Amino acid sequence: MLLENAKVGKTVEKRIKNRIIYSVCLAVLGVTSAVIGVGGFLPVELSDYLSGFYSGVGTGLIVAAIITIIRNIRTLKNEKLLKEKEIYENDERNKMIGLKTWSYTGYAMFIILYVGLLAAGFISEMVLNTILVILGVYALCLFFARLYCNKTM
């Protein structure tokens, strides 16, 4: 029993460490966006809107990533918080809620993209092609996720 608990605890620690790595990647993307927003590094001139957009999104990503990193490090250092996180993440109800959330969101996203695809033809051919590419990439992601899950589960 103790070995099982130790293994589960290590699994949760590994997940939290992976989240820290993902957050660092998001922070790097945020810095990249903020640098683009500040401008002067690109051969093209950005409009005020685009400059503000990239700066704002980049700053938001940086702040969110830093908060997530701090919370996860705090959890790793505090045995009580780690145990609570372990219980939360291993709860079957929470797992099912997470799976259903992603599933419903995925269905909704597919429908919204398709409706957008139908409407985009009346707006602009470029918008239509953009949504078509996004829909295609989304379909490929679903396909490869299905292959991966069939092999691993």
pLDDT in tens, the chain (153 residues): 344 445 555 788 999 999 999 999 999 999 999 999 988 677 888 889 999 999 999 999 999 999 999 999 999 999 999 999 998 888 899 889 988 999 999 999 999 999 999 999 899 999 999 999 999 999 999 999 999 989 988
pLDDT in the model for residue 137: 94
pLDDT, position 4: 47
Same domain, 17 and 85: yes
Determine the distance from the C-alpha atom of residue 133 to the mean position of all C-alpha atoms in its chain, rounded to a whole number. Answer: 19
Same domain, 9 and 50: yes
Domain edge (last residue) among 90, 125, 143: 90
- pLDDT, residue 9, reads 58
Question: Is 124 found in the same domain as 65?
Answer: no
Our count of domains for the chain comes to 2
- 108 and 60 part of one domain: no
Last residue of a domain, one of 62, 90, 118: 90
- State residue 67's pLDDT score: 97
Report pLDDT for 94: 87
The confidence score (pLDDT) of residue 46 equals 86
CB contact at 8 A, 67 and 27? no
pLDDT of residue 60: 97
Residue 146: other Cβ atoms inside 10 A: 10
Specify the pLDDT at position 31.
96
Q: Residue 140 is part of which domain span? A: 92-153
Rounded-to-integer distance, Cα 36 and Cα 24, Å? 18
Q: What is the pLDDT of residue 132?
A: 94
Identify whether residues 73 and 130 lie together within a single domain: no
In this prediction the pTM is 0.71
